[in-house]
Amino acid sequence: MNIIFLTISRVGNIAEKSIYCDLLRYFKANGHQVWTVYPRERRFNLPTEIYEQLGIHLIGVKTFNLQKTNVIEKGLGTMMVERQFKKAINKYIGDVSFDLILYSTPPITFNNLVAYLKKKNPQAVSYLLLKDIFPQNAVDLGMFSKKSLFYKYFRRQERRIFLLSDYIGCMSPANVKYIIKHNEYLDEKKIEVAPNSVDIDRQAPKFDMVKKEKILQRYNIPTDRIVFVYGGNLGKPQGIDFLIKCMEANKNREDCHFIIVGNGTEKHKLDKWYKDSPKSNVTLLERLPKEEYNDLVKACHVGLIFLDHRFTIPNYPSRLLAYLEYHLPVICATDRNTDIGRIAEQNGYGFWCESIREEDFTKLVDKFVHHPSLIESMGDKGFAYLCENYDIQNTYDVIMQHFSTKRT
């Protein structure tokens, strides 16, 4: 069958390991024809064009900068991207009929494009991969109120994309419950768990101690301590103020080390904190190339996940997958509404605390430092859970089960 995937994520290299690229490659490996449409922000100075990688057709669309830019350009770019995508689709693949229209949030502003594609392909299944719940997440973080025009506008957009979608794939059971509770107009049968998932190499050997030490030494990280790593976005959703409090509370320890790697809108807060009082047991790194980052995670002992305590929506960060794949147990310091920590504790691969009191975080650090045997046993449980629940075939099967139903 023919599949089109719409996203504002950068998927320019389809061979890269990610939740979207892995899924698209899996569709291709199972005999489907795949086209993906993604933005090429103007900062990269690349034209709109169609090309092929690993048998998958990619349409890179030149757009305004959508990330790491000022509010005006981001707003203008978000408003324009749907029109730009439609123009490119009509130019390059206007004569292709699609069986599956697949798209992810963010953004929720592909309504007109999805409606257009559904009209051209009335037989197609439209499937939303729900990766964030906007605008409520912005309300939770105090960006605007429910009384504002922003909220009312984006809530209408969200409602429309939900109604346009034949099915909505959520990241976790808590996501499903939230969508059902707050969108009573939807048919519950169209809402399901289609988790973040990856193509897992079950035969990949673990790094031996010598290789781990070489990688840690490359970044001047002690090799005789328990190493905790946080990798990913450093923005408002991650509750950077609390992360800093946790690092401050543990800054004088000699039995563990913390690595924070990534970029984001709140990274400057970490930079200032570190500059004002350099910490010997905390290492701050800019975002690393994918392969280097993965090697660094493999050399660490425990993965960290942070989310702002104000969230009323159940986020489920995809960075969990790399930790589990590389046999790292996790500490989840989050709000009470996400189930990422609850699932980790129930299945024996991690601990949870609410992201309010840094002493609660420290107690979880102590568990691994004082009982290092937990690291291997919990890490192995996490890998087993990953294989059973977050393998790319799981998400593929969830989507594909609807096709016979749609066509009969």
Which fold is adopted by the domain 2-198+391-407? Answer: Rossmann fold (3.40.50)
Q: Which has the higher per-residue pLDDT, 70 or 104?
A: 104
Query: What does pLDDT average to over the chain?
Result: 92
Q: Percentage of the chain surpassing pLDDT 90?
A: 78
How is the chain split into domains, by residue range? 2-198+391-407, 209-389
- Reported as a single tens digit per residue, the pLDDT across 349-391 is 999 999 999 999 999 999 999 999 999 999 999 999 999 999 9
Q: Is the pLDDT of residue 85 over 80?
A: yes
What pLDDT score was predicted for residue 407? 44
Closest CA to 258 of 294, 221, 224, 287: 221
Which CATH number is associated with domain 209-389? 3.40.50.2000
Per-residue pLDDT of 197-218, as tens digits, reads 999 988 777 778 889 999 999 9
* pTM above threshold 0.85: yes
